[in-house]
Chain A
């Protein structure tokens, strides 16, 4: 460590910070535009060409807005809560690789670091709700804590199953760069689609997006944990929410979609950041698309879905992956055959799950028709 190392770290983190702020502006604009198109509207169109300056104008307005602290609120915690939420999500970006070797801190226990920091956002939410001294904020933070801790388990288990499978390729299975290198032949989404779906559901719930946005529920508790915040502090909450969305999409593209690898990515290094950001953009678009047609889950449905459906499935997925990897390694099957077997088993179990869910729904519909007639 000499002085030039320190200077380069500062420069890279500075660029990354501003890059994240810029991409959040773009993502918010994109969300408003895509959602508008999905709902037969035009969306922001007045500020700048095609309305692209809309979010920038909103951000400037938020800075210029009066900052209100409600009476009897806990001053220090109230002011610290937005920072506590944003900082862990930003710290994640240190270990995320944009290309081969294009990573700031190539930590060996990258997956462990990621899952540790993902769990920290609940602290900020509870701090915000508790310190505001408001009933809506309290309810919102309780719901938020319940949801975040429930959906963290499927997230951790699917991350762990990626680590399990990466064992076959490398002896450093928690390093994010070696995970991407392991997917040079076949991205993990084809090997374990079930884990990808679990990760996606967990990620949507961790970032509190529709259909998992009961902690914010604008129509009943008007924003949840940050109802009492205004001005730039409220903006910090929004910023960390969208940063969380981008981070989740980036993680999904690293863990399942093959990260920076793609056609000709070995020959032309400059293609690698392009590949990974387009995969990230695809998953963000998927999140917008999921948001448009779906309603919000009630809190009891949300918890039941987590503990009675998603957590047992993710345990089953974890055990399936570990069994296949372990047995395949012990009888020394070639890796291609292990991938094939695991992919087929995953496909079969997904079809079985879909059949189970639809048959349950059909049964419920039959009961409903018997009671209330055709509708």
Chain B
């Protein structure tokens, strides 16, 4: 049976619509049914009962950015691996060897970062 692209991707779009629409419907239902009596104390950000100081969007540890950068490297590498995985048995052996070299460079990079203490959470 040939794959019917139009059918499949229409199904994907319909599912996205149902995901938004179905949950949105419950939100509308809640807006119609729930009471609405806003007061000042209600809308203050929750910090275990203490009135919050300063901005809500505070600074946080720089480490998160470092790990995000790492993830970016590995995610891009995974993008390269997907097409290779689909066809690698049909390709000549050089494709396999070059992918192994690619992975070796990546793992060397991870080992270097580990050695330099980047992965240490301080």
- Residue B88 contacts which of A63, A104, A167, A174 (CB distance < 8 angstroms)? A167
Contacts of A135 in B (CB 8 A): 45, 47, 52, 56, 58
B51 at the interface (CB under 8 A from A): no
Chain A positions 281-333 with a Cβ under 8 Å from a chain B Cβ: 299-300, 303-304, 307-308, 311-312, 315, 318-319, 322, 325-326, 329-330
Chain A positions 60-82 with a Cβ under 8 Å from a chain B Cβ: 62-73, 79, 82
B98 at the interface (CB under 8 A from A): no
Q: Determine the distance from Cα of A64 to Cα of B29 in the docked complex, in whole angstroms.
A: 9
A146 near B67 with CB under 8 A, answer yes
A192 at the interface (CB under 8 A from B): no
A24 at the interface (CB under 8 A from B): no
Among the 9-residue stretches A203-211, A226-234, A255-263, A344-352, the one with 4 or more Cβ atoms under 8 Å from chain B is A226-234
Contacts of A329 in B (CB 8 A): 89
Among the 9-residue stretches A10-18, A29-37, A272-280, A355-363, the one with 4 or more Cβ atoms under 8 Å from chain B is A10-18
Contacts of B18 in A (CB 8 A): 13-14, 17, 90
B103 near A5 with CB under 8 A, answer no
- Residue B114 contacts which of A163, A171, A236, A308 (CB distance < 8 angstroms)? A308
The minimal Cβ–Cβ distance linking B2 to chain A, given in whole angstroms, is: 11
- Residue A307 contacts which of B12, B22, B68, B70 (CB distance < 8 angstroms)? B70
The minimal Cβ–Cβ distance linking A312 to chain B, given in whole angstroms, is: 7
Q: Determine the distance from Cα of A150 to Cα of B34 in the docked complex, in whole angstroms.
A: 39
Residue of B nearest to A134 (CB): B45
A132 near B45 with CB under 8 A, answer yes
A217 at the interface (CB under 8 A from B): no
- Residue B19 contacts which of A63, A86, A105 (CB distance < 8 angstroms)? A86
Of residues B14, B35, B85, B89, which shows the largest number of chain A Cβ atoms within 10 Å of its Cβ? B85
B47 near A136 with CB under 8 A, answer yes
B78 at the interface (CB under 8 A from A): yes
A66 near B85 with CB under 8 A, answer no
Contacts of B42 in A (CB 8 A): 68
Among the 9-residue stretches A43-51, A151-159, A182-190, A245-253, the one with 4 or more Cβ atoms under 8 Å from chain B is A151-159
B64 near A146 with CB under 8 A, answer yes
**Interface size band for B:** 35 or more
The minimal Cβ–Cβ distance linking B72 to chain A, given in whole angstroms, is: 9
Q: Given known contacts A17-B18, A315-B103, is B89 in contact with A1 (CB within 8 Å)?
A: no
A138 near B60 with CB under 8 A, answer yes
The minimal Cβ–Cβ distance linking A19 to chain B, given in whole angstroms, is: 12
Q: Determine the distance from Cα of A14 to Cα of B21 in the docked complex, in whole angstroms.
A: 11
Contacts of B52 in A (CB 8 A): 134-135
Q: Given known contacts A108-B3, A135-B56, A173-B86, is B16 in contact with A146 (CB within 8 Å)?
A: no
The minimal Cβ–Cβ distance linking A153 to chain B, given in whole angstroms, is: 5
Of residues B16, B26, B33, B68, which shows the largest number of chain A Cβ atoms within 10 Å of its Cβ? B26
Chain A positions 72-117 with a Cβ under 8 Å from a chain B Cβ: 72-73, 79, 82-83, 86-88, 90-91, 93-94, 104-108, 112, 115
B94 at the interface (CB under 8 A from A): no
Q: Given known contacts A63-B34, A66-B37, A167-B89, is B15 in contact with A133 (CB within 8 Å)?
A: no
**Interface size band for A:** 35 or more
Please list 23 pairs of residues, one from A and one from B, whose beta carbons are closer than 8 Å in the complex, sorted by A's number: A1-B10, A13-B18, A70-B46, A83-B24, A87-B19, A87-B20, A94-B8, A94-B12, A115-B78, A119-B75, A133-B45, A134-B46, A135-B45, A146-B68, A150-B71, A163-B85, A222-B46, A222-B48, A232-B30, A236-B27, A311-B110, A312-B110, A318-B103
Write the residues of chain B forming the contact surface with A, with a CB cutoff of 8 angstroms: 3, 6-12, 14-16, 18-20, 22-24, 26-27, 29-31, 33-38, 42-48, 52, 55-58, 60-61, 63-64, 67-68, 70-71, 74-75, 78, 81-82, 85-86, 88-90, 93, 96, 99-100, 103, 106-107, 110, 114, 119-121
Write the residues of chain A forming the contact surface with B, with a CB cutoff of 8 angstroms: 1, 5-6, 9-10, 12-14, 16-17, 62-73, 79, 82-83, 86-88, 90-91, 93-94, 104-108, 112, 115, 119, 130, 132-139, 142, 145-146, 149-150, 152-153, 156-157, 160, 163-164, 167-168, 171, 173-174, 222, 227-228, 231-233, 235-236, 239, 299-300, 303-304, 307-308, 311-312, 315, 318-319, 322, 325-326, 329-330
Q: Beyond the given A107-B9, A137-B56, A222-B48, please list 6 additional residue pairs across the A-B interface where CB-CB is below 8 A.
A: A9-B7, A9-B14, A94-B15, A135-B52, A174-B86, A308-B114
